[in-house]
Structure 1
Amino acid sequence: MSAPAGRWADLRPRLMSAAVMLAMGVVEIWLGGWPFLALAVALVSVMIWELAAMTGGTTGRRMALILAGLAALAFFADEGWPSVPSWWVIPPVMLAIGLTPRLHPLASALMAGAIMVAGHGLFVLRDEAGTAAILWLIGVVIASDVMGYFAGRILGGPKFWPAISPKKTWSGTIAGWLGATAVGVGFVLAGQGEPLLILLSPFVAFAGQMGDIAESWIKRRTGVKDSSHLIPGHGGVMDRFDALCGAMVAVMVLGRIIELPVGFGG
């Protein structure tokens, strides 16, 4: 196989898997309510399972399943009956204290906390800010990922953070910011955002890229290539949604500071 062909060897399965996930996501976003909550719970619990399995080694498989179940229960406890999200701390705390031998318990706990916050944020954003807001967020993450993937493969150049993520380049990173900015421009032109959204979009994309970097750090420290093998061409659920977690956490923080300039009228 030639070098150019090898460079794109994973493109077909990535596209097929992405199409299926996108179709499912669109349906769930349109439905909202409990169906969308169920999707968020499924994503959160699987990511917690992958994280616990990666950092727990061969002795942590059973605990990974237990943590996934607890994450789902904790999520339903807070989302099904709105309350202070005190239940969120259960998976991160259990990872931090290391009930089974665990690599990098503090980093695992921080990642678990980000996953729980992101899952909650997805549901809240869809429920309170409306469909346009969640579509903007997902559009920013997808545009950043797609532009970064193709620019990085085509242009190459200096690596963004080679010690942690050797495949990521500055060209791909900057292309991701430009793609996110274009999404912000599109929403403003469509009357679904204020001009500030154009500035916020690359910032949210950068937060997503940092979510990807954070997972790459954990994978390199635990010696695994993918968080699991559940999604053809992508690896695991964390591999596909790590950027969404980072972006969602950033949106949650921004929402505490300003009123998000997107999604007028739900």
Structure 2
Amino acid sequence: MRRAPKQGRWGDLPKRMLSAVIMLGVGAIDVWMGGLSFAILVLVLTGVMVWELVRMQQPNGPWVAIAMGVLATVMLYAVLVLPIGPLWPLALIVPALVCAALVQHRKVAAVYAFAIMIAGFALIVLRDEAGRPVILWLVALVVASDVMGYFVGRSLGGPKFWPRISPNKTWSGTIAGWFGAALVGLAFVLLQGAPWGLVVLSPVIALAGQLGDIAESWIKRRAQVKDSSRLIPGHGGVLDRFDALIGAVVAVTLLSLLFPLPLPEGA
């Protein structure tokens, strides 16, 4: 039997570039329109990502994964429409608690399910309260961090960032990702009038995005799967494409609870 030819240094470049296009293209109109259209998109994506998460952890229980995806969508919708005020974290943690009770690798599934729920809720709230620039900033810095990290990491190589979990990531690529995110922040300062603090905040949020990517890689490694699903033919699942965005949005949410953030604002 002939072995498949090994990919070169840039063998997965088309896949990475398509991922960037997906990140930029999926929901572009919904981000621009906001309101109900954007909320529906996030509700669907949240349910799908929780379904993928549980499916990886519970491969022999497909109905459990489907039920968890539906539960995630329903609970996020309830948080958005019911007047629960500051109790929203308690409602969003319900899918995580169910994961802890039913799914293999309970702690891992529960924590990541909660992160997905927070990210979905925060995206809708940020779009409604801060406007489209903050969503565009988040997507742009995640994409810039990934693209810069890829090219510099593959070109320079060097020490690995976290070899046991993500053997392809290097310190050179990681730091380049921070630099790319800072450039995105600077662009929003110069072109959109965002506060200068955004230049400092952007690399911090990019690091959170990189950790979100690594966390999903660790989950897949434990589950012994290559992709979170096959919903995107040849390119994995929704969670594979949005794992870094989850980390970035969760970081913005947690930091905003501690002090005001210099975020871009607008219609």
* TM-score of the two chains, using structure 1 as the length reference: 0.92
Of 126-135 and 190-199, more deviation after overlay is shown by 190-199
- Summarize the Cα distance change of 1:247–1:17 in structure 2 as closer, same or farther, 3 Å threshold: closer
CA shift at 1:9, angstroms?
Answer: 3.1
Give the equivalent residue in structure 2 for 1:56.
58
Work out the CA distance in 2 between the residues paired with 1:35 and 1:68: 20
Give the equivalent residue in structure 1 for 2:28.
26
Work out the CA distance in 1 between the residues paired with 2:200 and 2:83: 32
Work out the CA distance in 1 between the residues paired with 2:65 and 2:5: 40
Give the equivalent residue in structure 1 for 2:78.
77
Give the equivalent residue in structure 1 for 2:100.
96
Work out the CA distance in 2 between the residues paired with 1:161 and 1:193: 33
Residues 90-116 of structure 1 deviation map (CA, whole Å, 9 limit, x = unaligned): 210111012xxx431011100000000
Residues 14-69 of structure 1 deviation map (CA, whole Å, 9 limit, x = unaligned): 434543552232211101011101111111111100100111122x2110000001
Tell me if the contact between 2:19 and 2:241 (Cα under 8 Å) persists in the aligned partners.
no
Work out the CA distance in 2 between the residues paired with 1:185 and 1:239: 28
CA shift at 1:240, angstroms?
Answer: 1.0
Letter in 2 for 1:122: L
Matches within 5 A, 1:136-155: 136-155=137-156
Give the equivalent residue in structure 1 for 2:256.
255
SS in structure 1 of the partner of residue 161 of structure 2: strand
Tell me if the contact between 2:195 and 2:264 (Cα under 8 Å) persists in the aligned partners.
no
Tell me if the contact between 1:14 and 1:234 (Cα under 8 Å) persists in the aligned partners.
no
Give the equivalent residue in structure 1 for 2:166.
165
Alignment partner for residue 8 of structure 2, among 6, 16, 25? 6
1:87 aligns to 2:91 (yes or no)? yes
Give the equivalent residue in structure 2 for 1:45.
47
- Taking only the aligned residue pairs, the percentage that are identical comes to 52
Residues 94-152 of structure 1 deviation map (CA, whole Å, 9 limit, x = unaligned): 11012xxx431011100000000000011111110111111111111111111112222
Work out the CA distance in 2 between the residues paired with 1:207 and 1:57: 28
Question: What is the count of residue pairs matched by the alignment?
Answer: 261
Work out the CA distance in 1 between the residues paired with 2:162 and 2:253: 26
Please give the root-mean-square deviation of Cα atoms over the aligned residues, in Å: 1.8
